[in-house]
Amino acid sequence: MAGFTQHYQQGYLVKNLMLLLQADWMVEAEILKLVKESLPILMDFYKSEGADDLKYLPIRKAINEPLKETYTVPLFSAPFCTMLLDEIQNMEQHFAFEPNAEEDELRQIPEIVLQERVPDLYIALMRIVYSIMNPIFLALWMRHATGGGIQIANYNLKDKTQGAWHHDIDSSISVVVPLNTEDYEGGGTEFYSRGVLEPLPTGTALMFPGFTHMHRGLSVKSGDRYLLVFWLTFDEDEEMI
C-alpha cells in the first residue's frame, strides 16, 4: 500500500511491477553464479580487515578490458532489458526526456532521472548495485558503491546525436548499459587518449572511473539509443577497508 501511495503522489504508476522486485532473472546467469562464488572470498578478506591477501575472485573471469582501465561485463539479461524498454515507453506517456539544467548545453543529454521521477525503480536498481555490481567493483578497485544516481538517457537525431567531451564529475564509478543496441545505427563511446568502443551488446555494462576518464557519446545515425546510466559514489566513512 505504501508503494502504491508513493507512486500515486509522484503521478506515475510503474507498469511492470516485476522491475521493483530484485530477482535472479534480471542478471545474466553466469554473472550471478560468479558473484555468488566470489562473495565468501570477499567476506573472508573483510573479516581479516585487510591483513590477509585477497584470493582470486571468480567474477574476474567475466570482466573484459577493451580499453585501458575501461571494463565491460555482460550484466543484465535480455528479458530485463526488454521489460525496462517497455517501462520507458510507458514513462514517456507521463513525462518527457529532459536535459539536465545544471549542465552546459553542449553536454546535455535528454534523460529521465529515476530517483526524482520513479523512486521505487531507483531503489530496486540500487539493490542490484549493492548485491551484484559491488563485488565487481571490489574485484577491480577494492571499493564499493554506497550511493549515487541513476538515469535513463536517450541519444537520437532529434534531441542529441553526439555528446561533447566531459568527465562525470559527480561520479566515482560510472556504469553505462545499452538497452537496445539492435534498434539504432551509430553510437558508441570514445575515451580521450584511450580509444573508441563500438556499441556494446544489449545489457552489457561499461564500467569506468567517471572523474578520471574524459569521454563522449558518438553520433547516432538513426533510431533511439537508450542507455541505463549509473553515477555511483563511495562514502569512505561507510567502507570497511
Q: Which residue has the cell 507521463?
A: 94
Cell of 134: 559491488
Sketch out the chain's domains with CATH numbers: 2-236 (2.60.120.620)
What does pLDDT average to over the chain? 88
Partner residues linked to 208 by β-bridges? 174
Of 175, 210, 207, 214, residue with least CA distance to 193? 214
CA torsion 107-185-156-165 (nearest 10°) is: 0
- For residue 220, what are the contacts with CB-CB under 8 A and spacing of at least 6? 155, 156, 157, 161, 162, 184, 185, 186, 187
- For residue 2, what are the contacts with CB-CB under 8 A and spacing of at least 6? none
For the chain, the straight-line distance linking the first and the last C-alpha, in angstroms and rounded, comes to: 39
Read off the pLDDT band of 104 (50, 70, 90): low
Read off the pLDDT band of 4 (50, 70, 90): very low
What is d(CA 11, CA 6) in angstroms, rounded to the nearest whole number? 9
Average pLDDT for 183-196: 93
Q: How many helices (H) and strands (E) does the chain have?
A: 6, 12
The answer to whether residue 67 scores a pLDDT higher than 70 is yes
Cell of 119: 523512486
What is d(CA 234, CA 143) in angstroms, rounded to the nearest whole number? 7
User: Considering only 1-5, 72-76, 154-158, 220-224, which range has the smallest mean pLDDT?
Assistant: 1-5
| Range 32-37, long-range pairs (CB < 8 A, 24+ positions) | 32/132, 34/58, 34/59, 34/61, 34/62, 35/59, 35/131, 35/132, 35/135, 35/136
